[in-house]
Structure 1
Amino acid sequence: MMTTRADREIARLMTLHPKGFDLSLGRIRRLLERLGNPQDRLPPVIHIAGTNGKGSAAAFSRALLEAGGLRTHVHTSPHLVAWNERYRIGAEGGGRFVSDDVFADAIARVAAANAGETITVFEILTAVSFVLFAEHPADAAVIEVGLGGRFDATNVVKRPAVAVIMPISLDHQAYLGDRVELIAAEKAGIMKPGVPVVIGQQDSDLVREVLIETADRLECPVLTYGQDFLGFSENGRFIYQDDDGLMDLPLPRLPGRHQLANAAAAIAAVKAAGFAIGHPAAERAMTSVEWPGRMQRLAYGRLVDLAPDGSELWVDGGHNPGAGVAVAEALAEQEERFPRPLFLICGMISTKDQTNYFRAFDGMARHVFTVPVNSSEAGVPNAELAARAAEAGLSAEPVNSVADALMLLADTWEDTETPPRILICGSLYLVGEVLAENGTPPA
């Protein structure tokens, strides 16, 4: 892949500043002050935290706002193939990833303002998002939290239009705590006094209680999934319900039952932020929403051509047990409609709960091929990952690459068998590698 000017700027920052996360707000506030506090000049902000589903909620929020004709900035992380995927600049007719020249210029200005002081690259790149969004007119901004909430670099917006907390489960325990109630307290840190809060579907009553208690203490209006709003399927349609009544909509383009709850949270959030949602706009949003690398079906490309003829090839970057359950449920729905033998091609990093991720697929997957994650220093060796899959009761073997796994399947597949359903999964790093190799990067 060609190296861009922005890539070179970021590579230079990587050599100067520490990698990883250092959860505090003092450094980024100091930097933003030098930049004239661009975070205070943003359009209304929808601020989204959570363990799973926050990217989907951001995608649905963007789709809803753009379907209503609103220019919408979007900041998400991580990227899959190119750094500029993190910054979608709002425009008439739909936002676009920031151009390389504009991106590189913003990085250089932010780095110059930091003047070599200690800071993480993530903090600099978050400051870049505020600079870009303040300098380009828009009607709304959707900002996804990077890690946690309370001390995440995005949590310097003094008064967002709404704070959204998506499903919370165990992840990043080294930073956020090893109990879900501790993680919930960190995520709840994006709540601001008096600002509306939308609480998405939660599996844990304890998590829900922590979030509601925090919102009540801050005197925030609260909308809770299952109590104040709801999303469900009925007769092949998506029904959204809240105190204003029902909306009868097409099923979301993003597959999986969990996406109904994600879509419902986004509708509630956009309304709570003060934006009207007309029924035609909501219909357009459900059929146009895109979220690359999350239960994304690859219809063509270099890797698709290596699979057995007629195969379904999917990618999903979910990497914790909660995500595994959601993806397994989405695949079970596909199996009900169109039965096919399921194979996994999986790569994961060492900070994730690999065995419990695999448990979600017990009884579903015929076989797992484990592969290295070459773009991360924390990738689990493929032989070790195969052992983790075996611990979860799955048949597994290590192979050298996704391409090798696909060719092995193609070489051994009988023409008389139904073509397989293949899921490449376990890491956003791996998904990014696959989308680049397949020739289908996000756009």
Structure 2
Amino acid sequence: MVYQLTYRRPSHVPSSRESISGEEKQKSINDSINSGSSCMSCGIPDALSFDRIISGGVCPPCTVRDFMNYLKYIEHAAENLQFFLWFRDYSARWENLPESEKALAPEWTRAQAEAEAAGNVPSRPKRVDPQVAAVLKDTDFADGALRATVDRADPFNTPSKTPDEEKRDMMSEYGSSTDEKTFGSYNTHQSAAHKAFDDAGMKWKPFTAQPYREEIDRIISIYIAEGSPRELNLSARERTAVLHALQNTTHPTAFRSIVTTVEYSLRKQAHPNFIRWTICNGNRPRVVFARGLGVAGILGGFLADLLITLSHASRPWRVIPFLGWFIGIATLIAAWKGMCVVLHGLHHRHLRPWELFSEDPEDVLDEKLLSRESFTSQSTNSFEDEPWIPRYGKRNIIRKIFDRQIWVEEPALRQIQDTIFLQALLGAFVLSCIIVGIFCAVPRGNLY
């Protein structure tokens, strides 16, 4: 079974920061969800939609793990999917909290978010006792009186502490016998979150009864703070807005603005590119080799037809090179779309380089739940030091062309590949008929 013969695989979507508003991005996301999360006219069937992949409803090589590997090793943007999956998990855990805990972290409304984005967040005015101000007007004590009055009016206006002072306070609160290593990881994230708020010109609020505050500090230090290990590609305005929201609440709505940006990037850019890349069943050396075979078949058919035409042979003999034309053109069309017809005939694909050298390949290919700890790890997405890179680089070109193969399990992907293969056969048949017909129409040369 194949799709329509007019099917076209997804076009490559370049990575860019489009100057569209958050409302337009959200509307585009909602339209995508309401229309079944896919667009067959864009080359993505419903069975390979973004939501279906994220929910785990597909087979290799189109699973969430395959999507993550693609973003890490090919697009170098795995942090978007990592943050998106963490946020989905965080929102689900938030919904299961008791109402008494939810009440500690109020929802961050759209009005507050829009006011923050527009830079219209009001600050609390500092009021001074009018009698004190009148007596000390035009004196050297005016500024001191202002500070003293403000301090009396706000008993919580205490000087900010250094990370070391906060750490000592925490240690004393839990007792001197508490092992300092217990708080080492927490203080690392805490310091990074503190710096992120300082860079944004905000006051840090480290101690709070709001749920998941420690986890939010980790997320700030990993994804949001400048220079963080998995820093998201956010504008200065988006970063400031989300930090201000997280300064006040740990409610999932505090991430509304950046979640929209991340999800828009995944749905509209990363997902189509992933499907386009997954359709290719061979590695690059194999595809280049297939293109060479296609060109060789075309050249063989051309030389055979040319020699027969220049000879004393009759016209029916000129039909024989049709087979060379047909095989060459079909192979070239399929290879131009990243497919090897030999691998497709077996419904196989090459193992990816990072899959080849796994100690247990089945662990790599089987879909497993991605752990929550992997989303909040301080490790970067850099893979330059992974052992498979030098080992794959040492393989000669022949071994790469004939690398290990594995069965394509996802039916929808096989259906796409069947459609492309049929298109290549039909295109090759039509073009071969036209070319052979032209040679048959030319008078024979009688040169030998």
Normalised-by-shorter TM-score class? under 0.3
> Which structure's relative contact order is higher, taking Cα pairs within 8 Å and 6+ residues apart?
2
Which protein has the bigger helix share?
2
Larger Rg: 2
Tell me the TM-score normalised to structure 1 length: 0.20
